Each structure stands twice: as structure tokens, then as C-alpha cells.
Structure 1
């Protein structure tokens, strides 16, 4: 659904089961009330969102006082690509995420074991306790610096972070990761998935990214490689498919660790 020039979209429907909105770059607010909605995809939207102070008289939406997305869908089962727009978790109001079973095309931006607290992908993972399958775009996101109101969050911290206990299958696509970052990021994610039975990993473009620098990692993070491999217990893992590994020592450490602990076969 392309929607150039559309500023506000309000949908109220008992019949709606699948909602797919993409490339609505001028969209400023989305409100959906759909009791039978099962699948929602929002991609490449809100890209031209205007940030204006409340009460300014401007007809644009004041992001500080309004939600970009409001969804009331008690039967929601799958969220696809709820990212790629200028949003932070506080801009989203999605009622009752406990029924969500699949997160597809989820963008997760990690710096080793850390992510920004405004990362929508990480927020969805934490807020969907019943999720069983995740399809992840794992990214590094080497922007210049943190915003004034941003903080870094340790994905592996035991304080307030319950395991993704119902997560059984995960497909990871990773690209543009500097050297060492991918394995540290992947390990931190796996440390939260103790009941995983199937894992698929595809990597690319690591050679180019290995020469890049990241302000967040270089200036703010001092322990980004401090991932205790011994704490990654994947006792339910039955199937592993790995594509794109270059044979670097850190990559093989991740593979050999899983092979030694569980004896499954990897396809590289």
C-alpha cells in the first residue's frame, strides 16, 4: 500500500485480518481498531515525520504529545517489520502483545551485548512474552552518537530481563558488522533463548564493515566483548543452518562451542 501525501489513517473494522502498510512516508499517525486483526506490517512509514513543539499551531503532529501508532487488536498473532521509520517505543501504543507468536523482519541493532533503549526491535522482543518464532535483521547501526535522551541497555543483564522462554525457532540475517561485533552480538542474543530448537544464520558484508568505526563502541562501551560463552545453554537445539561465515577465529568459536555442547550438525 503506497500512500504518498497521506497524513492520518484511522481504520476501524471487524472484518480486517491482515494489514500491510508500506512506503507511506508522509504518514503522521496510524490508528487501528480491529478485533479480528491477526497480522500487521508497517514498513518504511513516517519517514518525513515533522517534529514540532506542542501548541505551536503547526498542522504537523507533535511527536512528544502524540503516538505515531495506536493498535487495538486482541487477536494479533504476527508483527512484521514494525521498524524502518522514525519512531521509538514511546511512540507506539499496541494493546496487549501477549498473544503475538511471530515477529518477522524484525530489525535488532546491537553493539555487542548492548542496544539503544529506543530500539523498537528490542522493545518488541521484550514485550511479546509468547513469541515462538523470530525472523531477525541483526544490524550494528554505527550512527555517530547517542541522542541526548538515549541510553544503552545490556541485553544479557539478569536484572528485569526474563528469558525468551517460548522462543523455539529463529532466523538471523546479519550484515555490515565490524570485526568481532557479530559474534558478541549473536552470543548476547542467544543467551536469552534457552529453549531454542532451530537456528538459521546468514551473514554478509563483514569484510567491508570490518574497516568501519563506531562512536558508541569506541567511546562509550568498554566491555562489549565480555560475553560468557559458558552461560549460553541451548540444550533444546536440534537444527543449525549457518551460511556466509568466513572462517575467522571468532566465528569458529561460536560454531565449535555449539557443536561441542550439543552435537548438532551445522551447514556452513
Structure 2
């Protein structure tokens, strides 16, 4: 299946060392403005597609208690309106501006990063062979990465390793928000019986988003930061990094992983 047409564009490139000139596909990156109750609260650089899910997931993981997301009433391009009548917008102490590389950059203070999320209490147990299979299953479903080689992905899996939802984006945090937003739309939160797998490293923010979504197991191809490990331990999340080629490292709460 081809990637969505709005997720890629064409660029004229020169191949080295041959010097051959031809067209190539690159991932699209455009700004998205997120408005809550008509008030702009965020601009994020993202790959177009699933924008309502992205806005919903972003607001959920920032503690704004959204109930729905929709295109802007004025039909403005690259704008999503979020309905969150219970949101306390006065708690936002900065103008949210997130880049495609890091969703935390620009936070006014460390305290602004923390979002209230209950400790994840789940009796989910996952077999080791399922855990180590997830990055390959994630990669096989990345349609746009196949064309461009330049997108992050987050996948939501059940305990048997079945892929429930996959989203790609130039921003790793955006891909996670899109999946969380999808789960919210499916009335599947909290994700107490599910596994999240990401294509890159494990940052503090990705662990925070998993905690808000109530997901007990977070898997990644790359490694975690120290703060990601601390937060996962505190919130009761099993954190698995460097999962590749039949191996993996469990940093927190290893009792959920059984086998091999």
C-alpha cells in the first residue's frame, strides 16, 4: 500500500558518486496550529495527516482534558480546533512551540513538563519473543518511511504482538500523540492491556505520554535518557530499550516480561 500522497513530496537530487540527477521522495514537514476553545496553544512541526488525532493526543498528554478535535471553523489550513471546556488554560505558562526533533524544547521550567498521570497499575505480562518482534513489525508497516527513510513511528500493539495502530511523523512525539489521539477516539484509554513501540530513542516526553495514556510497556529500538528511566520507574512503566536482533534491555519493572 502506498503512503498517503500528502505525506511526501518530490525533490530533484544528485546521486554521488555517479553524479546522476533524478527525482526522490522526501517527507513533508509543515506547521500545525492547535487551538483550544479558540485560543492558540501550540504550533508543532509535523507530517500532515491524522491532524485531529495529533491535536487530541497532544492536549491529552499536556493535561488539557480535551473531548474532541475538528478542523478549524474558519477552514484555515494547518489549524485544528480542540474542544476542552474543562481545560485550565491559565496553567499554561509558556507559548507551546515544539519542533520536529523535541517536544519539550522551550518549556519554561522543569515543573511545566510534569503532567499529572496516575501510576500505571496493570497485570499485563508479555512474552520476550513478542517484545523483540515489535520493531520489525513496526518497520514493516511504515509506508512513508519506505519511500523517504526520514520518519519516526509509534505503534500500538496487543499482548500477542498484533498491530492495532501505527502512525508516522517527522516528530517522534507527534507520532506518539497521533496514536494516543487515535486510542482516545476509539474509547480505548487507558491502554492497560497494550504495548507502545517507538522507532527511535526513549525520551522523557515519550515516557510521560505513555504514562498519561496508561500504557504499562514501552519498547524502543534506541536507548532511554536517565530522566526517562526515572519517570518510567516512578510511574510503573516497563521500559525496554535497544530492542533489536533478538535482544533487548529492560530498565524498569522487568516482571512484566517473561521468557525467553
Task: Say yes or no: TM over 0.5.
Answer: no
TM-score by length of 2: 0.29
Structure number with bigger Rg:
1
TM-score by length of 1: 0.28
Higher helix proportion (structure 1 or 2): 2
Higher RCO (CA-CA < 8 Å; seq separation 6+):
2
